[in-house]
Structure 1
Amino acid sequence: MVRHLGLLPALSLSASLVVAPAMVSAAPLQLTGTLDTRYSDNAAKTHVDEQSDLETRVGLAINYATDPGQCNASLGGSLAYSYWLDDTFDPETSTDLGAQGTCQLAQGLYWDLSDNLSDVRRTSQRPDTPDNRVRKNLFSTGPRYVLQLSRTDQLQLSAKYQNTEYEDDAQQDSERVIGSVAWNHLFSSTLNGGIDLTTDRAELDTGTEIDRNTASLIASKAWATTQLSGSIGVSEIETEAGGFSNKSDGLVGSLSFDRQINPSADFYITASRELTDQTSDFDVRFAGFVFNLQQTTAVEVTAIRAGLDKRFSNGSQVNIGVDASRQDYLETDEQEERVGGDLRYIRPLAPRWEASAGVGLSYLTYDSDDSDDTVSEVDLGLNYQASRKLIVSGRIGHNQRTSDVVQREYDENWILLGVDYRFR
Structure 2
Amino acid sequence: MSKKNCVLAVGTVLLALPPGSAEAVRIDYTIDAGVEHNDNVTLVDGAPVSQNILRTGLGFLATEDTSALQLRVEGRAEYRNHEDDLYSDGVEGELGALANWFAIPDRLSITAENRLELQAINPFAEDTPDNRQQVNVFSIGPNLYFMRGSTFQGQLEMRYIDSRAEETEEFNSQRIGLAARAFKEFDESRRASINVQSQDVDFDDDAFARDHRRDDLFARYEHGFNILSLSLDAGWSRVSFDDGDHHSAPLLRAGLTWRPSERSRFSLDVVDQYSDAATTFLGGVQAPGGIPTSVLIGTDIITAAVYEERSATAGYTYLGDATTFGASAYARRLDYIDAVDPDEDREGVALDLGRTLRPTLSLGLHYSSERIRYDLVDGRFHTTRYGLALSKQWSRRWSSSLAVEHNRWKNPVLGSDVDQTLIYLSIAYSNH
Give the superposition deviation at 1:236.
Answer: 1.1
Among 415, 419, 422, the residue aligned to 2:423: 415
- Seen in structure 2, the aligned counterparts of structure 1 residues 135 and 260 have a Cα distance that, compared at 3 Å, is same
2:88 to 87, 90, 105: 90
Match for residue 238 of structure 1? Answer: 240
Distance 1:122 1:275, change over 3 A: farther
| Secondary structure of the corresponding residue to residue 304 of structure 1 | strand
Q: Contact 2:328 / 2:351 at 8 angstroms: preserved in 1?
A: yes
Within the alignment, does 1:129 sit opposite 2:131 as a pair?
no
Task: Tell me the equivalent position of 1:334.
Answer: 342
Q: Deviation of residue 89 (structure 1)?
A: 2.0
The correspondence for 1:292, drawn from 298, 301, 304, is: 301
Query: Per-residue deviation at 1:408?
Result: 4.5
Deviates more, 1:174-183 or 1:352-361: 352-361
Give the structure 2 partner of residue 216 of structure 1. 218
- Aligned partner of residue 334 in structure 1, secondary structure: coil
Q: Percent identical across equivalent pairs? A: 20
| Structure 1 residues 219 and 82: alpha-carbon distance in aligned structure 2, compared to 1, 3 A threshold | same
Contact 1:122 1:291 survives alignment (8 Å): no
Query: Does the CA contact (< 8 Å) of 1:237 and 1:276 recur in 2?
Result: no
Q: Mark the CA change 1:378 to 1:169 in structure 2 (over 3 Å): closer, same or farther.
A: closer
Alignment of 1:344-363 (within 5 A): 344-363=352-371
Question: CA 1:145–1:344 in 2, change beyond 3 Å: closer, same or farther?
Answer: same
- Cα deviation, residue 88, structure 1: 3.3
Contact kept? 1:184, 1:194, Cα under 8 Å: yes
Q: Distance in 2 between matches of 1:289 and 1:228?
A: 29
Q: Could you tell me how far apart the structure 1 residues matched to 2:25 and 2:313 are?
A: 28
Which amino acid is the alignment partner of residue 32 of structure 2?
Answer: T
Structure 1 residue 122, shift from structure 2 partner: 3.4
CA shift, 1:177, in A, is 0.4
Deviation of 1:320 (Å): 0.9
Report the TM-score, using the length of structure 2 for normalisation. Answer: 0.86
1:370 alignment partner in structure 2:
378
Q: Would you say the 8 A contact 1:253–1:274 is kept in 2?
A: yes
The answer to whether 1:39 aligns with 2:37 is yes
Q: Is the 8 A contact 1:338 1:362 kept in 2?
A: yes
What SS is found at the alignment partner of 1:213?
strand
Secondary structure at the aligned position of 1:86 is classed as coil
Which residue of 1 is the match for residue 15 of structure 2?
none
Shift of 1:406: 4.2
- Could you tell me which runs of 5 or more consecutive residues in structure 2 were left unpaired when the two chains were aligned: 11-20, 288-296
TM-score by length of 1: 0.88
User: Amino acid of the residue matched to residue 222 of structure 1?
Assistant: G
Residue 344 of structure 2 aligns to which amino acid in structure 1?
Answer: E
Higher deviation after alignment, 115-124 or 366-375: 115-124
Seen in structure 2, the aligned counterparts of structure 1 residues 72 and 413 have a Cα distance that, compared at 3 Å, is: closer
1:5 to 2:3 alignment: no
C-alpha distance after superposition, 1:195-228 (max 9, x if no partner): 1111111111013312101111111111112322
In structure 2, C-alpha distance between the alignment counterparts of 1:149 and 1:93, rounded to whole Å: 45
Change (3 A) 1:61 1:5: same
Distance 1:150 1:39, change over 3 A: closer
Secondary structure in structure 1 of the residue aligned to 2:245: strand
- Helix, strand or coil at the partner of 2:171: coil
| Other-structure match for 1:318 | 325
**Structure with a larger share of its residues in helix:** 2
Which whole-Å deviations, capped at 9, do the CAs of 1:344-386 have from their partners, x for residues lacking one?
A: 1111222221112111111211111232122211102211111
In structure 1, runs of 5+ residues without a counterpart are: 9-22
Q: Secondary structure at the match of 1:280?
A: helix
- Aligned partners of 1:304, 1:289: CA distance in 2, in Å? 19
Deviation for aligned residue 1:172: 2.9
Q: Is the 8 A contact 2:170 2:203 kept in 1?
A: no
Tell me how far 1:135 sits from its aligned partner.
0.8
CA RMSD in angstroms, aligned pairs only: 2.5
Aligned partner of 1:184 in structure 2 is 183
Deviation (angstroms), 1:150: 8.4
Q: List per-residue Cα deviations over 1:262-303 (Å, max 9, x = no partner).
A: 12212223343331333334464288974312x432212233
Residue aligning to 1:167: 166
Where 2:45 maps in the other structure, the secondary structure is coil
Inter-partner Cα distance in structure 2 for 1:162 and 1:144: 15
Contact 1:153 1:183 in 2 (8 A): yes
SS at match of 1:261: coil
CA distance 1:343–1:283, change in 2 (3 Å): farther
1:230–1:37 CA distance, 2 compared to 1 (3 A): farther
Which stretch of structure 1 is more off in the superposition, 386-395 or 140-149?
140-149
**Counterpart residue number, 1:62:** 60
CA positional deviation for 1:405? 3.4
Determine the C-alpha separation between the residues in 2 that align with 1:265 and 1:369: 40
Match of 1:381 in 2: 389
The answer to whether the 8 Å contact 1:182/1:197 transfers is: yes
Q: 1:124 to 1:265 in 2, by over 3 A?
A: farther
State the partner residue of 2:251. 252
How far did residue 67 of structure 1 move?
Answer: 5.4
Alignment length (residue pairs) = 404
In 1, the alpha carbon distance for the partners of 2:27 and 2:308 equals: 40
Q: 1:422 Cα shift?
A: 0.4
Contact 1:43–1:88 (8 Å) recurs in 2: no
> What letter matches 2:235 in structure 1?
G
Partners of 1:150 and 1:348 lie apart in 2 by 46
CA displacement at 1:416 relative to structure 2: 1.1
1:87-144, Cα deviation, whole Å (9 max, x unpaired): 3321121111122222222242111122222212335433333223211121111111
Contact 1:138 1:281 survives alignment (8 Å): no
Shifted more, 224-233 versus 409-418: the winner is 224-233
**Partners of 2:391 and 2:160 in 1: how far apart?**
44
